[in-house]
Amino acid sequence: MDPRNDFPVEVQALNHWYGQGEARKQAIFDVNLSIKSGSLTVLMGPSGSGKTTLLTLIGCLRDVMDGSVRLLGSELNGSVRATNEALRKRSGFIFQAHNLHESLSAQQNVMMGLQVHGRAADGAQFKEAAKHVLGLVGLGDRMEYLPHNLSGGQKQRVAVARALVGNPDIVFADEPTAALDRESGMNVVKMLKQLGVERGTTTVMVTHDGRILEQADRIITLEDGRLVKDTNP
């Protein structure tokens, strides 16, 4: 990873709001934080506290209106589409609602995480890599299954494999273990921790799962759009 990115996420004086005029509602108030490379950071807070908004802002999925967000060394306020796409390629996203492509098999869904980096000179390499990662999440025997033939937990594990197969520098996750049983959930967290140690992969996730909180390097709590607590358990 780029040595400049000891702190792959740096947020300064970040404000964000929805709507305009009288309908304007501020969701983030003057948030400042930095996240260390290779760490597992959890964003917590009650519903409507702004944690998802913050995740999408630092994940380069939403335009930064006011303040500064630096992701992997690049400023996101005013960034152009090409910069955003390049940063997203270096990131892995795990959505609560898995968002698998219904027409693609488990293996093909995971291959999409590789294909974004360029067309394969040999598709077999992508297939092999997808097969390997699906094996790591315990789905080696479900590679050809379409999402509608998988259980909720299995779909979520495919989504995890898709996010991790491209060896991202940073992973953004929204309740990634909500649909998983205890063992699968812990395996996913262990994988993320292991990637942090071995490759310096940073993980930022929104979760209420107590099992993950035990594994977190840092817990940031938001309330009403404000950062109210920042702990290192």
Chain residues that interact with another protein, rule: CB under 8 A: 52, 55-56, 59, 61-62, 81, 85-91, 93, 95-97, 99, 101-104, 108, 111-113, 115-116, 119-121, 123, 174, 206
| C-alpha distances in Å from residue 16, one per residue of 42, 78, 92, 94 | 20, 14, 23, 23
Secondary structure in 3-state letters for 89-129: HCEEEECCCCCCCCCCCHHHHHHHHHHCCCCCCCHHHHHHH
Name the minimum Å distance from CB 116 to another protein: 5
CB nearer another protein, residue 46 or residue 233: 46
CB nearer another protein, residue 19 or residue 123: 123
CB nearer another protein, residue 112 or residue 213: 112
3: three-class secondary structure by DSSP: coil
CB nearer another protein, residue 25 or residue 183: 25
How distant is the alpha carbon of residue 89 from its chain centre? 12
Name the minimum Å distance from CB 95 to another protein: 5
Name the minimum Å distance from CB 72 to another protein: 12
CB atoms within 10 A of CB 221: 17
Name the minimum Å distance from CB 183 to another protein: 26
- Residues contacting 70, CB < 8 A, separation 6+: 9, 10, 11, 76
